[in-house]
Structure 1
Amino acid sequence: MIRVLQKGTHVLLRQQLSARPALLSANFATALKGQDAPPPIYTMNEVLTEIMQRLGLERGYCPIPKSREHLLKYTPKAEDLPARAMQDSYTSALLPLSTDLELQDNYVSHLGNVRMGRLMEDMDAFAVWVAHQHIKVPTLPANVNLPYTFVTILVDKVTFSDLITDVKQDIRISGHMSWVGRSSMEIVVWLEQKHHDVYKKITRALFLMGARNATNTGPAPVNPIAPATEEEKQILSGGEERKKRRQMIQAQSIFKVEPNDFEQSLMYDIYKRTTHTNTMELNKRLLPSNARWMSEWSTVTTIPCFPEHRNAHNTVFGGFLMRLGLESSWTAAFLYCGTRPKLMHICDISFEKPVPVTSFIKLTSYVVYTELNYLQIMTVIDVLDTSGGGSGQVTTNVFYSTYKSNETVHQILPRSYHETMWYIQGRRKFKYSMGLE
């Protein structure tokens, strides 16, 4: 979901979006293969500003957002939306790190690399920009703002290359629509950075976005996809398969169905390894050598939200939650390894509930699975109930991320049945992200 700009350098917006040169099929196919793509048109700051203008949003914080109910009557019917090719939505934007010193300060790590959490935040915003390129409403009057709201449902299949990022080199963000349903959209977004005058891949991610009406009170239809090339047909077909796989994985979640036969054997093996053979000491748990208890290796952070983290509806911008979750998981992995870990994959980021901008957010990152020199981290984001001194909390997001250490790490082991379920789920996510299942 798009964030509301609070600060940044003033930029000269391009006045004629329609004057953008059409992307040829050959260029589109080349871009999909991760090779050279046409030069970016916008900076990310321009993208964010343009999205605000299209939606009719204004700068400045207001506790009660400006009403968009007058736009509901312009919500199109599905049959009024023309089919679009994937290349219609293909677009790029630039993070001009080589020339913008203020931007460098916001993105730099203490080693001079680029903070991955910041990049995930930008990718989420950019996915909304791709949605804007895809949506075409012929019945919408020229002077009326776009009667849509776009929300992030899921982020999946984020795989990071071995490229060592440099905060003084420009980064290009590119993406296009890869599949659509009635009101849902799968958008592929990838990052590249200049390295010896050639853009090289940092990562690629799949965003599942939901199209909602202007007041975010119901779904809104989106344009169907009519593939223009063989490449687009293959991508669209793959989107259908990914949808089915997501549904299957969700249906088979360890939190919904019992473990399979192999996993039950694995659970029994853990029990045998951590239980004393002396029947007089069954209540005692044994920790094998080179192992650690899961309950003793988690990090907890609680932070307040502020208006700078908001979107158009005064709920927390999804990209900000992604940044918090990623940086929390990295902290947990670093403390567990004792050395700086490498982020390898993010296999699942779910967005269950909106987070009010007045919230206190609690982030808990657990080491839920280890294998050789890999760690699987589960990060849970809860919103704390502060009304009347209450201490309740509601889970709004769950992230799974995979890290790699230079050395073999201690094995993590569950101590309770509850933790054993986390262990099994973490193992599943690890195998999925590594392409092993």
Structure 2
Amino acid sequence: MHRTLTYIHYFSYNNPAIHDRLYSVLPNRFWIDKVMERENQKPIDESHPQKPRQLIEKTMADSYMEMNLPFKSSPALLEEYIFVDGRIRTGKLLEDLDAMAGAIAYKHVDNGDPDAPPVTIVTACVDRLDLLLPNAVEDYKLIGQVTYVGTSSMEVFLKAEIIPDGESEQSSLSATESPKPSPEALGHLGPNTILATRFTMVAIDSVTRKPAKINPLKTETPAEERLFEFAKANKARKKRESETTLSRHPPTQEERLAIHDIYLQYSQYKGAEQDPMTNPEDKKPLPKEFIWMEDTRIDSNFLMQPQDRNIHNNIFGGYLMRRAYELAYANSTLYLKSQHADLLAMDEVIFRKPVHVGSLLNLKSEIIYSEGHPHRSFQCRVVAEVVDIEKDTRETTNVFYFTMAATDEKTEPRRILPKTYAETMLWLDGKRRRLQGVSSRHLLLEQLAKEK
């Protein structure tokens, strides 16, 4: 039995017209296709024992991949990505990053043996993504490579850059050329960098469904060694942060005072009638610069279709990110009463369970934290649940946190007020994420300034 080649879904293999049109403007996607096809055509035969996988030492350059997205110079491609306000659809870029991370991971796992046991690559986690998109349509280049390897998992570093005018033609690759990394490309953030993120990919034996050992990684230069050590430290940092979450530890003393202050704030307004400490007749109308958290909730349902599946018949992680972001954007516009909302960052996303074709995906969104005007940014949370229609069960697969911002000076974000203790914990979590996000973004901007 052979697996159907569906991982790089934007090639649209079931639609020759779209396939040929995208190939004509994106010849360098040939290499992503080539890597995936070699792995996908390996047979899966559970009746015969698989030979042990031979591991070979690889470098970061071995997994390097780049892909041009000439939006400015290709009307055909721009048509596939254009947003209603004339900018590039961020959700589509999230899909491309996920697909590219998978291809890079397959490229690292590949040992050149056509008879090696087939391996399935799944997206386990997406680290924080900071977005610095320009207002105008530009030509982009996506760049990535493996920067850290464990036993069966690997970290893929990805970034997107603007291709300066006049360099689009020079950087375009034909379908017979393999991209070669430049020393500056590996982990380098420059003035043209518009986003940077890290994907954690996991290798699974396609037959036994157990973790599969992957090729070790060898660093060759001081720059690569720094990338490796940074990824290693990042992994340790995420582990420490997971041990201090509000689901494991109570709020700090300072946060307890903040909780009391927020209680005193909301208890004086109408709408908090369940509060037994104050007289309902003494409550005032909620001012226009405030909004109850419960009044920001919206949800959406999607039936998972086979066109959005990967090689193991599950839905792409990139598809889930796109749907979650687009719901967060819709929620942000309703909250702001304005279409002028931008994505600043996406926090770490953990893929807990696979989403199968035919299941119902329920997405719930709410604004969990905002300090209100004059602050422009706010935190939006999206919970993804898979609904088994026949069994009538629900399972949470992902929780997304997006930092959004109002871009219109006339728009004044309203302050979020929780009512219940559970909402207050969400509010506190959003406050933590905002403080951590501001610090992370400042570090990124400082690094970009140094590069300038």
TM-score when normalising by structure 1: 0.82
Distance in 1 separating the partners of 2:381 and 2:202: 24
Looking at structure 1, the residues matched to 69 and 51 of structure 2 have their Cα atoms a distance apart, in angstroms, of: 34
**1:219/1:286 CA distance change after superposition, 3 Å:** farther
**2:183 matched to 1:184?**
no
Contact conserved, 1:287 with 1:293, CA < 8 A, in 2?
A: no
Residue 107 of structure 1 corresponds to 81
The residue number in structure 2 matching 1:17 is none
Q: Secondary structure at the match of 2:385?
A: strand
Query: 1:4-403 counterparts in 2 under 5 A?
Result: 4=9, 5-6=12-13, 7=15, 8-10=18-20, 43-44=28-29, 46-57=30-41, 67=44, 69=46, 73-74=50-51, 76=53, 80-97=54-71, 101-137=75-111, 140=113, 143-144=114-115, 147-166=118-137, 169-197=138-166, 200-215=192-207, 217-276=209-268, 279=277, 281=279, 289=287, 290-339=289-338, 340-371=340-371, 372-387=375-390, 390=392, 392-403=393-404
* CA displacement, residues 216-260 of structure 1 (integer Å, 9 cap, x when unaligned): 711111222221000011111111110011111112222232222
- Asked if 1 retains the 8 angstrom alpha-carbon contact of 2:40 and 2:311, the reply is no
Distance 1:71 1:111 in 2: 55
CA distance, structure 1, for counterparts of residue 439 and residue 49 of structure 2: 43
Code of the residue aligned with 1:360 in structure 2: it is L
Which range moved further: 243-252 or 188-197?
188-197
**Count of paired positions:** 393
* Separation (CA, whole Å) in 1 of partners of 2:427 and 2:86: 35
Q: 1:268 to 1:74 in 2, by over 3 A?
A: farther
> Deviation of residue 436 (structure 1)?
6.4
Per-residue deviation at 1:54? 1.5
CA contact (8 A) 1:124 1:318 kept: yes
* Alignment partners' CA distance in 2, 1:363 and 1:405: 23
Tell me which residue corresponds to 1:425. 429
* Residues 92-121 of structure 1 deviation map (CA, whole Å, 9 limit, x = unaligned): 112344565443222111222110100110
SS at structure 1 position matched to 2:97: helix
Conserved? CA contact 2:204–2:210, under 8 Å: yes
CA change 1:86–1:357 in 2 (3 A) is: same
Letter in 2 for 1:374: S
Secondary structure class of the residue paired with 1:387: coil
Residues 331/145 of structure 1: CA separation in 2 closer, same or farther (3 Å cut): farther
For residues 97 and 253 of structure 1, the distance between their equivalents in structure 2, rounded to whole angstroms, comes to 41
How many Å separate the matches in 2 of 1:349 and 1:306? 22
- The CA deviation string for residues 383-432 of structure 1, in whole angstroms up to 9 with x for no partner, is 112116x3x32111111111111344111111111111111111222222
CA contact (8 A) 2:131 2:195 kept: yes
Q: Which structure 1 residue ranges, 5 or more long, are not aligned?
A: 14-39, 59-65
Counterpart pick for 1:409 among 379, 390, 413: 413
Structure 2 gaps of 5+ residues are 1-5, 169-191, 269-274, 442-452
Kindly provide the amino acid, as one letter, of the partner of residue 299 in structure 1.
I
Query: Which amino acid counterpart does residue 415 of structure 2 have in structure 1?
Result: Q
Which letter does structure 2 place at the counterpart of 1:81? L
2:3 maps to: none
Aligned partners of 1:109 and 1:192: how far apart in 2? 19
Task: Say if 1:192 and 1:201, in contact at 8 Å, map to a contact too.
Answer: yes
- Verify the 8 A CA contact 2:98 2:317 in the aligned structure 1: yes
The residue matched to 2:267 in structure 1 has which SS? coil
Residues 124 and 86 (structure 1), Cα distance of their counterparts in 2 relative to 1, 3 Å cut: same
Contact 2:267/2:278 (CA < 8 Å) preserved in 1?
Answer: no
AA in 2 matched with 1:149: T
Report the 3-state secondary structure (helix = DSSP H, G, I; strand = E; otherwise coil) of the residue aligned with 1:394: strand
Q: Report the 3-state secondary structure (helix = DSSP H, G, I; strand = E; otherwise coil) of the residue aligned with 1:179.
A: strand
Name the residue aligned to 2:182: none
Whether the 8 Å contact between 1:359 and 1:383 is mirrored in structure 2 is yes
Match of 1:19 in 2: none
1:178–1:282 CA distance, 2 compared to 1 (3 A):
farther
CA distance in 1, matches of 2:351, 2:367: 21
What is the Cα deviation at residue 301 of structure 1? 0.8
Is the 1:69–1:214 Cα contact (8 Å) retained in structure 2?
A: no
The CA deviation at 1:341 is 1.1
Query: What is the alpha-carbon distance in structure 2 between the residues aligned to residue 71 and residue 324 of structure 1?
Result: 40
* Structure 2 contact 94–321 (Cα < 8 Å) conserved: yes
The letter for the 1-side match of 2:346 is I
CA offsets 1:316-367 (integer angstroms, 9 cap, x no match)? 1111111111111111112111221121111222211000110111111110
Report SS of the residue matched to 2:348: strand
Query: What per-residue deviation string (whole Å, max 9, x for no partner) do you get for residues 168-227 of structure 1?
Result: x53211111111111111111111233433583221111111111124711111222221
Cα distance in 2 for residues equivalent to 1:252 and 1:184: 24
8 Å Cα contact 2:36/2:103 also seen in 1: no
Range with greater deviation from structure 2 (251-260 or 269-278) = 269-278
In structure 2, relative to structure 1, the CA distance for the partners of 1:280 and 1:380 (3 Å cut) is closer
Contact 1:273 1:288 in 2 (8 A): no
**Residues 112-139 of structure 1: CA deviation (Å, up to 9, x unaligned):** 211010011000010112113322426x
* Aligned Cα root-mean-square deviation (Å): 3.0
User: Per the alignment, in what secondary structure is the counterpart of residue 9 of structure 1?
Assistant: helix
